[in-house]
Amino acid sequence: MEQEEKKILSISVRNLVEFVLRSGDLDNRHNFAAEKNAMQEGSRIHRKIQRRMGADYKAEVTLKHVVEEDQFQILVEGRADGIIDKPDELIIDEIKGIYLDLSYLEEPFPVHLAQVMCYGYFYCFDKQRDGAVMQVTYCNIETEEIRRFQTEKSFDELEAWFQGLIHEYVKWARYLYSHGIRRDESIRELEFPYPYRQGQRELAVSVFRSIQRKRNLFIQAPTGIGKTLSTVFPAVKSIGEGLGDKLFYLTAKTITRGVAEESFDILREKGLYFSTVTITAKEKLCFLDKPDCNPDACPYAKGHFDRVGDCVYDIIHNEFGITRDVILRYATEFRVCPFELCLDISNWVDGVICDYNYVFDPDVRLKRYFSEGITGEYLFLVDEAHNLVPRAREMYSASIWKEDFLLIKKIIKPMNEKIGRLLDRCNKELLEMKRQCEGYHILEDVRFFITSVMSLFGEMELFMEKNSEFGDRDLVLDFFFDLRKLLNIYDRLDENYRIYTELMSDGRFMLRFFCVNPSKNLQECLKKGNSTVFFSATLLPVSYYKELLSGDQEDYAVYAHSPFDQDKRLLMVGTDVSSRYTRRNRNEYRKVADYISMIVSAKKGNYMVFLPSYQYLKEIETILPERISHGDSVTCSAQASHMNEQEREAFLMEFSKERDDSFVGLCVMGGVFSEGIDLKEERLIGVIIVGTGLPMVCTEQEILKNYFEEKSSKGFDYAYQYPGMNKVMQAAGRVIRTARDEGIIALLDERFTRPEYQALFPREWDSFYEVKLKSAKEVARQFWDNRLVEEKEDGIHT
């Protein structure tokens, strides 16, 4: 009984051997084959080899082994690719699919041999066998040639080896055990840090119940309700109840990561014993001007693995909110790569705050949590979840450009004739596709081209491994990774994809594997955990997001009502103006500028204007000064394309300045200032939105439209209307963010009066004023006069 009550700490075989056995330098110039193999785990090549092995071959054998410690147990688990168990023969098999020419392999990669030795020990221990043959099977993915390495180990040898392996891990397991005890005790005592706002408690309860039932939840909640704390708090409480052991807080933008960090800090101030790490992009952490992860270029890469363990052990014992600045401080002290340090810390903390791609992107995702065969008690909180649809489409799509094959051929052919010929072959096949393409062309199959790419990739893999330094290596490396992604995505192609070629206006030619519906790929990662909460101020219609994010219309959904006084907000719709392409002319631009002038003149203050495109913005920027009403003083500033961080900060600082006039910031709808910008109270009193936010007509939008038209007759809605209204609502959300905020939302487009658009309005937009240019100023002025009267009355009552 006592043994059953011991806490169980789980680790996968792969994570254990990779953690314990690493040493030496960090070097990205080598081990392409090993890296590629890791990405190919669970692929079709495994299944093909397993089917060929006969009746004695047991495939995908789950194996577990428990190591007893005084107060806890360590459960090491994994899945052997194959086992042959006969009375006179026992073979434990590990299969690895690679593109590398197998003749260059002299021995198995150490980490692969270590994996199979773990499985061999577990199996011999369970079956009381005296020993086994450890076999690592490598298969060339292109040729399907096979090479096997075998080594026979006695049970005593396996046991001694494994005990040495686990001995290195025990001190880390002791930390996890003692930390978990203190964490859970603190969670039991934890209470929500503030009085609940209206609807906030119900939101928290919904999150807890969804996690408890291991279900997904979609939350549509107005800006300013406190969604972050309302999701983080119940998720943390769930971990205290044993409903999860690691929390992933996923964001699309750096600014929302800061909100998550602040939420955990608030809870820690209330007594929570809970560690988090924020994973920052390599480019923003690297000490070099440009990341170059090898010991010749970076002193932090030399001997990195010899020092990083001590660094991690130190940081997890002394820090709880491990942010970018904390990472850089410790990386400097221990002379280790800050990015790799960041990833290693994630193993030992309770919460990980990171961008979507560290969970979902097949090239970037954290392999230690999301590789084939690895699952965990994970909880996912997906912030600003509306952004995940376009981001996921891009993560699971791949493109290749014909012109790149010619460029790389010029670089490599003088060094390697064979690669030059293979590049030429791929180029000719693309040329044939180009001849058949006018505009864009949907293809059913590209298997022959992919066969050529496989041959090329295999040769380039060996070339890159052998040639760590040569001119334009970075260009070749980028191309190599493009090929790798193309091959990886090719393995995913199914009914959720479209393959197409496109001839660009500048003459360039592209082949693209386009992920139209990413839900299946996303669920591949999310199903490794227990529950996912998707939340945003704009998840309407929720059926659209369910289809594209989880693929399950039965998932739970909650609509949180706005707690804010609706009398503090004026919603007006301009019915005599349109942003349609056919109406984009000088007269229409003047009318839009006049609307801006009328609304701004009703009350001095700061306003944001969101326009359909940079071209439209330039037209308004030119016309607006001459349309400002006589006697009004207005300063204008416009968003520029490709603004750097300092320029964005300078633009936002304009809203904080003390001024005697009004300020109008001209922005592009769907751009960097459309969401995640927090301008409270007097910093912003009005948002003017021109147009319905429809994406520009382009190849991908048309492919989306046609795909969904075939499926549900909602092609235009899915490709244009829903994404467009999302941008509108995000822009509108800039103006009312706290209970003290008040302001105007003006929607300038006649299409907002149509039922199909109003059906997408959030519930708090249940009443609005239809205005024309001649009445806009009066409606706005009346609103501000009423606000002044109410404020005076409130002052008298208080």
Q: What angle do CA 599, 604, 610 make, to 5 degrees?
A: 45
Pairing of strands 351-355, 276-278: parallel
The per-residue DSSP string of 301-342 comes to TTTHHHHHHHHHHHHHHH-SEE-HHHHHHHHHHHT--HHHHH
Count of C-beta atoms within a 10 Å radius of residue 12? 22
- At residue 796, the pLDDT reads 53
- At residue 144, the pLDDT reads 83
* 511 Rama sector, left if φ>0, alpha if ψ -120 to 50, beta otherwise: beta
Closest by CA to 241, choosing from 178, 202, 190, is 190
CATH match of 398-515 with 1.10.275.40:
yes
Matching CATH number, 566-797, of 3.40.1360.10, 3.40.50.1100, 3.40.50.300, 1.10.3720.10: 3.40.50.300
Closest by CA to 395, choosing from 544, 521, 511, is 521
pLDDT digits (tens, 9 = 90+) for 383-413: 999 999 999 999 999 999 999 999 999 999 9
Domains 398-515 and 566-797 share a fold: no
Reported CATH class of domain 7-171: alpha beta
Where the chain has pLDDT below 70, the residues are 1-4, 30-44, 46, 373, 630-631, 793-798
What is the CB-side half-sphere exposure of residue 500 using CA atoms within 13 A?
21
Residue 374 to residue 361: CA distance in whole angstroms:
16
C-beta separation of 49 from 95 below 8 A: yes
In one-letter notation, the amino acid at residue 465 is: E
What pTM was computed for the model? Answer: 0.90
Residue 562 to residue 560: CA distance in whole angstroms:
7
Residue 505 to residue 501: CA distance in whole angstroms:
13
Q: In what order do the strands lie in the sheet with 351-355?
A: 321-322, 276-278, 351-355, 246-251, 378-382, 531-536, 217-220, 556-559
Residue 344 to residue 218: CA distance in whole angstroms:
31
pLDDT digits (tens, 9 = 90+) for 192-225: 999 988 888 999 999 999 999 999 999 998 877 8
Residue 166 to residue 186: CA distance in whole angstroms:
30
- For residue 387, give the DSSP letter: G
Q: Where are the domains of the chain?
A: 7-171, 398-515, 566-797
Here the tokens at position 249 are 């807080």
Residue 194 to residue 183: CA distance in whole angstroms:
21
Residue 95 to residue 52: CA distance in whole angstroms:
13
